[in-house]
Each structure stands twice: as C-alpha cells, then as structure tokens.
Amino acid sequence: MKRISARSFNNIPLSVLDLAPVIEGSTPKETFPNSVDLARNVENWGFNRYWLAEHHNMPGIASSATSILIGHIAGATSELRVGAGGIMLPNHATLVIAEQFGTLESLYPGRIDLGLGRAPGTDQATAYALRRTLNQNPEDFPMQVNELENYFSAKPTGYVRAIPGEGLSIPIWLLGSSGFSAQLAAHKGLPFSFASHFAPDYMMQAIKLYRDNFQPSPLLNEPYVMLGVNIIAGETTADAKRLATSQQQQFLSLRRGQPTKLKPPIDSNEADWTEAERATIEQTLHSQTTIVGDQKVVSEKLTTLIEATQADELIINSQIYHHADRLRSYEIVASLMN
C-alpha cells in the first residue's frame, strides 16, 4: 500500500462513518431509511466503505444493533464495503461476533469489514447492563481479538467453532483513540483506524506508534492508517458553519452527560454555553480533523491533513440535521474526489 504524494487527496479512498443520527422530532424508524439513502448515494459517488458505530443509551444515535444495521445497508447496496466502525468487543461474547460477521460475510461475500474497539461505547451503567460485570483489565481485549481470529481461521483450535464464520476472510481492523490499539494493531499486523474526529490531540502520536512498530502479517505487508474526519460542507462557508452547530450542540450534550437527539442548527449567538464549554468545543471540534466550509475550504484542509499525516484513507462523519443537507455535504466531498 503506497504512500500518497503531497499533491492532493484524490489518490486515496474516502469512506463514510454513519452514526445513524436520530434528529429532534423523529424516531429511529425515520433514521434508517436516511442511512439507506445515504449509502446508495455515496456508493454511486465513489466512496470506498460505509461503517456504522456501536453506541448505546444515546437518544441521538440509532446504530446500537450494529450487525443488524450493517446487513440492512449491505442488502440495499451492491458494491460498497460495509462494516463496523466499530464493534465494542468487550460488550460481547467473541463467539457471537464471529457468528454474526460470519453470517454477514456469507450473505455479502467480499464486502464486510469488522472494526473492533475496546471502549464501552456508552456510560458505565449501560456498560454494566451490557456486560453484567466491569471487572476487566487491558489484557482482555488482545485475548478477545486472538479468539476472534481463531474462530475465523480455516483450522481453528479448540472445541467450539463459529459456524458460519470458520474459514472466512473477514478483514479485522483495530480502532482507537489512544496508543493502546495503535500498538496492538502494529504488533498483529492489522489495519488501524484512529478516532481523530473526536481525539485529535493524540493523532500524530498514535500514527507514529503504529508505523514505527508495525510487523507484517499475512493480511498486511505495510501499515495502513485510516483517520476519522468530521466534515460539514455547504454551498458557502457561512452555510456550513451554521449546519455545524448541530454537531456542536450534540458534542456539548455529551460533555454534560445529558445526550440528546441531534438538534437543528442555530445562530451561534443563541448557544447557551459557558466560556469553559465553548473553549472545550473549539479545541476539539475546531482542530485539523474537523473541517467546516465550502468546497474550496474543504479541499484545502483535506489536502493539508493528508500531507501532514500521510493517511492511507479517510473516513468521514457528518452530523447534519437535515438529511438533504447531509447528502449535499457528502456530494461536495465526492466532487473533490472526481
């Protein structure tokens, strides 16, 4: 997998991260058709993969039953790679994930990705409801990854077998927002996706850890880095900045421990934020991995990001209230690819 030149970003794949946003005044029932519509459009526009993220107990995110939704999206598209960005592996029995993704790969061969994270994807009370115990240590996650790889092996060891799953070639990615998963992905020779869309401060450190320590594997000869990016694109930069206030409100509600549905955009002077909250939001969401602007601004900032990181792929999250505006944002990005 070759490094790109510092010329432009149309040498690398662009992908989509969908949190299946539930907007204020709607329900997940209205959300899922929007995800299908977005997936069909981005497939036509040339995006590489479409990932859904596991979150729980969050009124504004409908992708909690991630494997089911992956199958729904894969069934509504024809070539797009569809996967998890990611499955929070400590929430699940490893055998169940092997069987679920073995089923998905059997239904949609050659199109399924399995991205794995080790965070709960929720608050501690909900994590306990999912796991029934929180007595885990950092060594559990590498052990679970090993178990999963064994279930997918053509010659698994042990008495228990994953059927379907056994012998299937399902790409496993490790996801992270710190150095732990970066080092584990390097050690195992797996592709690595860093959550730079919400942890930009650790991005360069994690990339370096991964590349410096990478060991080739049967899956991958060279390190492969995919970075998460927030992009809110509009016809004008002023339009995009207004659209971005929905994401800012959602981020603030999470910081306050009071998650809500995705709210409509507001004028910036309407925001009921303290100065400390405003500074936190600006630090996180006004980084190089959150891009808000018109086509020219998006193009320039994406090029700068790729020159700085030499990323192999970008996966784009766009938390936008109106579905039509969200589609248009991805369409603007697609026009830059072409």
Query: Cα 318 from chain centroid?
Result: 11
CA distances from 211 to 216, 254, 272, 304 (A): 11, 32, 42, 20
pLDDT at 5: 35
Helices H, strands E: what count in the chain? 12, 9
Query: For 17-75, how does the pLDDT look when each residue is reduced to its tens digit (9 = 90+)?
Result: 999 999 999 999 999 999 999 999 999 999 999 999 998 888 999 999 999 999 999 99
The residue written with tokens 């910036």 in the block is: 268
User: Rounded distance, CA 41 to CA 117, Å?
Assistant: 28
Q: Which of 325, 334, 333 is nearest to 34 (CA)?
A: 325
Q: Partners of 176 in the beta sheet?
A: 194
One digit per residue, pLDDT tens: the chain, 338 residues?
333 333 345 689 999 999 999 999 999 999 999 999 999 999 999 999 999 999 888 899 999 999 999 999 999 999 999 999 989 998 899 999 999 999 999 999 999 999 999 876 566 666 667 665 656 665 688 999 999 999 999 998 988 999 999 999 999 999 988 889 999 999 999 999 999 887 788 899 999 999 999 999 998 999 999 999 999 999 999 999 999 999 988 888 888 888 899 999 998 756 677 888 777 777 666 678 999 999 999 999 999 999 999 999 999 999 999 999 999 999 999 999 86
Please state, in angstroms and rounded to a whole number, the distance separating the CA atoms of residues 145 and 276: 39
191 in Cβ contact with 220 (< 8 Å): yes
CA 238, 244, 249, 254 dihedral sign is negative
Question: Do residues 226 and 191 lie in contact, with contact meaning Cβ atoms separated by under 8 Å?
Answer: yes
Where b means 16+ CB within 10 Å and e means fewer, 161-184 reads ebebbbebebbbbbbbbbbbbbbb
Going by the DSSP 8-state scheme, the letter that residue 201 receives in this structure is G
Q: Whole-model pTM?
A: 0.92
Q: Outline where DSSP puts E strands in 2-42.
A: 14-18
**Amino acid 273: pLDDT:** 76
Q: What is the pLDDT of residue 135?
A: 61
For 23, which DSSP code? B
CB 189 within 8 A of CB 220: yes
pLDDT at residue 119, as a whole number:
74
Exposure b/e, 207-230, CB count within 10 A at least 16 = b: bebbbeebeeeeebeebbbbbbbb
What domains can be seen in the chain, in order of their start residue?
Answer: 14-337 (3.20.20.30)
The pLDDT score that the predictor gives to residue 3 is 34
What is the pLDDT at residue 158?
A: 86
The Cα–Cα gap between 157 and 177 comes to 32
pLDDT at site 4: 32
Rounded Cα–Cα distance for residues 130 and 58 (Å): 14
Three-class secondary structure of residue 114 per DSSP = strand
Residue type, 268: S
pLDDT at 236 (0 to 100): 97
